[in-house]
Amino acid sequence: MDPHWARFVEFARGHDGVATWSEAMRLHLPPERLQSWQRSGRIRRVAPQVYVIAGVPDSWRQRVRIAAWSSAGWASHRTAAALDELNGFIGRTIEVVTERGRRRKRVTWTVHESRTLRAADLTVIGGVPATSTVRTILDLPAVAPPFLVAKALDDAGRRSPHMLGAILRRHQELPRRGRRGAALMSALLSERLGEPVGDNDFETLAIRLVRSIGLPDPVPQFQVRDGDGFIAYIDLAWPDIKWWVECDGLDSHSGKAAHEWDRMRRRRLKRLGWDGIEITYDDVTERPEACARDLRDLYHERAAAHRSGPG
């Protein structure tokens, strides 16, 4: 057997019969082999740079993998909950999430758009790019009945003694404005933690801190794009000096794919002349004086550098 074909088949069969162009290149396959196999009917091109081995049975997981890769997104909401085997969710619907503003063709699955995806929100489940358990729980109130959200939240809490705290922290970090189900999640968390969950999110508290030290108001959820269609939403931005501040979730379990995605995003921002820093929710709530000093000093350094030449 052709060793290239054997290597490709072994990989694809371990991934529901699906492989992408980039995965094939990581297997050191000559690009012309993919084209030859497609012409001969060995593989089917089901989406741009996404291939399925001919004859492999169709499955929900296969369709999820195709949806995620072809949408440049991550399995999310009810789909991620089913992949994560959260109580109350089965593999039926297909939902993915992408960065808001990316153009795409009409598809047969549900595509959600988000301004707030970060590496801490992303993982891989059984080889499928997906939102983390924490992010999935926080997204569910937008699409699922409250009783199912509660079941999933309780299931996640039983799996780890730290899960409720992690969900609360990310809930506090994400903007509440315009986020469907945020009030329900606050109520569910308050009930389980035995204390009220406040309404102040990271964005609100950070803007208050910025105002307290006399800096200009930042633009929240600012969109950056270039001629290639690259889009990034920045938590807090000062477009006049191309400087940003983002809340870092400090999740060390996001996985290689998520961190590669985040590094690529930041490299492209850098190439567009942007620079910035990450701060944590604890910086804003527990160390506000030190955080304020750093923000003030770094803002003025950036402003001075921007005035003296290209940022």
Q: What's the structural domain count of the chain? A: 3
Final residue of a structural domain among 193, 211, 226? 193
More confident residue, 266 or 75: 75
Mean pLDDT of 98-117: 79
Neighbour count for residue 193 (Cβ, 10 Å):
13
Which one has a higher pLDDT value, 261 or 283? Answer: 283
**In a shared domain, residues 44 and 83:** no
On whether both 179 and 303 belong to a single domain, the answer is no
pLDDT of 104 = 60
State residue 311's pLDDT score. Answer: 45
Indicate the range of 76-80, 165-169, 227-231 predicted with least confidence: 227-231
Give CA–CA dist 11/167, Å, rounded: 34
**What value does the mean pLDDT take over residues 93-118?**
82
Residues 277 and 231 in one domain: yes
pLDDT at residue number 254: 58
Query: Is 14 a residue whose pLDDT tops 80?
Result: yes
Strands 219-225 and 95-99, by their bridges, are: unpaired
Residue-wise pLDDT for 285-305, tens only, equals 899 999 999 999 999 999 998
| pLDDT of 250 | 58
CATH code of the domain in which 222 resides: 3.40.960.10
Residue partners of 107: CB distance under 8 A and separation at least 6: 67, 70, 71
Predicted local distance difference test score (pLDDT) of residue 232: 84
Q: What is the pTM of this model?
A: 0.81
Average pLDDT of every residue of the chain? 88
The upper half-sphere exposure of residue 72, i.e. CA atoms within 13 Å in the direction of its Cβ, equals 14
Q: Which residue has the higher pLDDT, 306 or 257?
A: 306
* pLDDT at residue number 140: 97
Q: Do 108 and 210 sit in the same domain of this protein?
A: no
d(C-alpha 284, C-alpha 279), whole Å: 8
Q: CATH code at 25?
A: 1.10.10
Domain that holds residue 222: 202-308
pLDDT at 276 over 80: yes
| Residues 67 and 153 grouped into a single domain | yes
Residue 24's closest CA among 43, 7, 46, 47?
Answer: 7
Classify residue 234 by burial, with Cβ atoms within 10 Å: 0-12, 13-18, 19+. Answer: buried
- pLDDT (0 to 100) of residue 210: 93
Instruction: Point out the domain boundary residue: 159, 193, 227.
Output: 193
Check: CB of residue 83 under 8 Å from CB of residue 96. Answer: no
Beta bridge partners, 222, equal 234
Q: Of 126, 160, 193, which closes a domain?
A: 193
Per-residue three-class SS string for the chain: CCHHHHHHHHHHHCCCCEEEHHHHHHCCCCHHHHHHHHHHCCEEEEECCEEEECCCCCCHHHHHHHHHHHCCCEECHHHHHHHCCCCCCCCCCCEEEEECCCCCCCCCCEEEEECCCCHHHEEEECCEEEECHHHHHHHHHHCCCHHHHHHHHHHHHHHCCCHHHHHHHHHHHCCCCCCCCHHHHHHHHHHHHCCCCCCCCHHHHHHHHHHHCCCCCCEEEEEEECCCCCEEEEEEEECCCCEEEEECCCCCCCCHHHHHHHHHHHHHHHHCCCEEEEECHHHHHHCHHHHHHHHHHHHHHHHHHHHHCCC
Asked if 68 and 180 sit in the same domain, the reply is: yes
pLDDT at 102: 63
Give 228-252 pLDDT, tens digit per residue.
Answer: 777 788 889 999 999 999 887 655 5
Our CA dihedral for 14, 15, 21, 24, rounded to 10 degrees, sits at -10
**Are 296 and 245 within one domain?**
yes
Give the CA distances from residue 253 to residues 21, 65, 123, 269, in Å, rounded to whole numbers and listed in that order.
26, 21, 8, 24
Q: How confident is the model at residue 91 (pLDDT cuts 50, 70, 90)?
A: very high
Judged against a pLDDT cut of 60, whether residue 203 lies above it is answered with yes
The neighbour count for residue 199, using CB atoms within 10 Å, is 11
